[in-house]
Amino acid sequence: MMAPFEHAIEILEYGRMREILAAYAESVLGRGLAAELVPCPDAEELRRLHAETRELSELLESTRLPLAGLSDVCSGIEDDDSGGKPLEPEHLYRVVDLLRSGLGVREAFTGDKDRFPALSALGAGIEDLPELREEIPKLIDLHEGVRSEASEKLAGLRRDISALQEKLRLGATAMLKRPDLRKCFQSEGVTLKNDRYLLPVKVEYRSWMKGPVRDRSQSGSTLYIEPEEIVQDGDSLLGLLDRERDEVLRILWDLTRKVRDERLALRRLQGALAKVDFTVAKATYGTSFRLISPEIGDDEILDLTDARHPYLMWLSRDTGRDFREIELGSILGKVVPLDIRLGDPAGILVVTGPNTGGKTVALKTVGLNVLLALSGVPISASKARIPVYNDLFVDIGDEQSLEQNLSTFSGHLKQLVEILRGATGRSLILLDELGSGTDPLEGAALGTAILDYFRANGWKAIITTHLGSMKKYGFLHDDVENAAMEFDTRSLKPTYRLLMGIPGNSNALAIARRLGVSEEVIAAAEEEIARVEEPTREIISRMEKSRRKVEKERRRAKRVREEVQVDKAEYAGKLEEISIRREALEREADLEIDRVMRRARKVLKPIVDKLKNVPQTHKPMVDELATEVELLLIGTPLGRKREEFARSLRKDDEVCVPKLRGRGKVRKINKSERVLTVVLDGIPTQVGFDDVSWIEDSEY
């Protein structure tokens, strides 16, 4: 039995999409994940994957991630020293590249948590090993291997080696220049073989040169002799070189063990960066083709608007240009979009229409976009809602009959058996040309029985057929909907547009008439069709008229809604502007009235104070005048507002005291005396009700 989605993956160009995504990856790690891509039947995981891809598309507009050149560094790291060899300097440096990439990605992802929450969560899980990341470059050079500074011993050995090599070179060169030996040499250069400095001596002059023969030419005419004068120093050099190799091995083993101690963390980091690189591939691909992240629904509704076949879009690009530089306008004009809805209320969609009219492409468009959406990959649509199917069952074309030498009908039946065995209420079924390949009457009867079985089990399916009798099925059941592939009878070409809500015609007679078949033959055919199927054709005709009318009304309603939304937005904006202006004017008025009142109090206070010194007989008149002045000031709109504000205060409320240009908390309230005790700068101060305000002190 096949794994979920396995058969659909084989026949829906899913493998091609893996290859396309791999091309957008920057490293072998990302390309590896692209090759292993499979659908995921987990809603939360899918939402997270699409959120990461969507956020990364935005981040990549301003940031380039350090992912190029990443490679698998973990496969050569054994658990112990049983391998017998330490890691090579080049391998150790690739570990550093991995750690540096991890740090760069982590910083990029966690830099703006509010803007990129999904990436921040992903970045927070990327590990860093700072000690290893910093230590290896101090000891290892990518081009020179282990640095001399890696240890004092290594530095000393290399100094001694360099000095001795120079001594040997000079000694050998001096012998080459000796006049008495010049004719002995085959050439005038010192030869370095196996770290020994040798002279090329002609074989006939062997007796002239003392020293061991270390090598000879293929012809045998030249002997490579190490002069006995430098043999001892040559032996010393080999000893120093052996000690250097031992010290280099010691340093490499030390670093290797440190790397192996962190092998689990490195594997996790490598896996995380592989995922990041693959997400970059998805985001870059999505941006190039202006794709969207679909809504992952918890219900059974499949809703695609302006959906296009993603592989056809790829094939329609200009192959003469870099695939990252897409001319999207020309592609969109070549691949016809479709709108399709399934699951509310209809769980089964029956698509009819002529052969080569695009029915199969419509099925593949739905199937491939569903597979990609369930794999966390952006899809080609302007709007999309995808349920989390647990499997996608597909029977398209003759892929089984061609492989297994079965008839078309037998091939379809074999795949139907697999569907009937494995489908559930959470599966999506796509059937191409249901009931074809056998007698039309029997095929239609079998197709009807299969759809009845699907409906009884609550299965979701999109099926295509060219059998006329299948068109009636959608009219008989509320949970089944018809759709048709549009055909232009004037040009005799399919438009490849899917029309929801109506069944389609095969248009065979229209094509025959255009191609010159005699009217007598066509008339006879039309008469026979009228006798057998006129009621159905009348229904189709009426439905087409109804659809056009509804579509026209829908477009008009949409236009009206858009206009209303624009008017509503403009009205709301103007209303908000008026409200803001009104508040500003009211505040300006309050401030101005308050300033006038304070000036009035300032002018009136000395006058009232002087009047208090009048004879006792006039005292009642003066008190009455002072009260009237106070009531007059309090009686203004601002005065009443301030009085209400003061009386509504509670202990610990904050108030402004404009005349003291301060702000403080209320400690005591004496409503009968209309006096407050306010703590200003830590000092309790008594002020009147009319001395406090809600207006900020900075506004005075």
> CB count, 10 Å around CB of 568?
10
In CATH, the number for domain 647-700 is: 2.30.30.30
Q: 10-32, pLDDT tens digit by residue? A: 999 999 999 999 999 999 999 99
Residue entry with tokens 């350090």:
66
Tell me which DSSP letter residue 88 carries.
P
Q: 639-663, pLDDT tens digit by residue? A: 666 667 777 888 888 888 877 778 8
With cut-offs at 50, 70 and 90, classify the pLDDT of residue 636: low
Taking 50 as the threshold, does the pLDDT of residue 404 lie above it?
no
Where is average pLDDT lowest: 326-330, 578-582, 667-671?
578-582
Q: What is the residue-averaged pLDDT of the chain?
A: 84
Return the closest-CA partner of residue 96 out of 140, 148, 31, 149: 140
Whether 6-129+262-288 and 311-506 share one fold: the answer is: no
Architecture of domain 151-240: Orthogonal Bundle (1.10)
Q: 467-507, pLDDT tens digit by residue? A: 777 777 877 788 888 888 877 767 667 777 888 877 666 66
pLDDT at 618: 60
Taking 60 as the threshold, does the pLDDT of residue 599 lie above it?
yes
pLDDT at 646: 75
pLDDT at 7: 92
Average pLDDT of span 82-98: 88
Taking 80 as the threshold, does the pLDDT of residue 155 lie above it?
yes
CATH classification of 311-506 is 3.90.226.10, yes or no? no
Q: Please give the full DSSP string across 515-563, using - where no structure is assigned.
A: TT--HHHHHHHHHHHHHHHHHHHHHHHHHHHHHHHHHHHHHHHHHHHHH
With cut-offs at 50, 70 and 90, classify the pLDDT of residue 537: low
Residue entry with tokens 């670093």:
255
Helix (H) or strand (E) holding 460: strand 460-465
pLDDT at 405: 44
CATH of 6-129+262-288, one of 1.10.1420, 1.10.10, 1.10.8, 3.30.70: 1.10.1420
Q: 93-127, pLDDT tens digit by residue? A: 999 999 999 999 999 999 899 999 999 999 999 99
Residue 335: strand, helix, or coil: coil
With cut-offs at 50, 70 and 90, classify the pLDDT of residue 700: very low
CB neighbour list of residue 359: distance below 8 Å, 6 or more residues apart: 351, 352, 353, 432, 433, 464, 466, 485
Taking 90 as the threshold, does the pLDDT of residue 516 lie above it?
no
pLDDT at 538: 61
**What is the C-alpha R_g of the chain?**
44
Cα–Cα distance for residue pair 676/668, rounded to 1 Å: 6
Average pLDDT of span 537-552: 60
| Domain layout of the chain by residue ranges | 6-129+262-288, 151-240, 311-506, 647-700
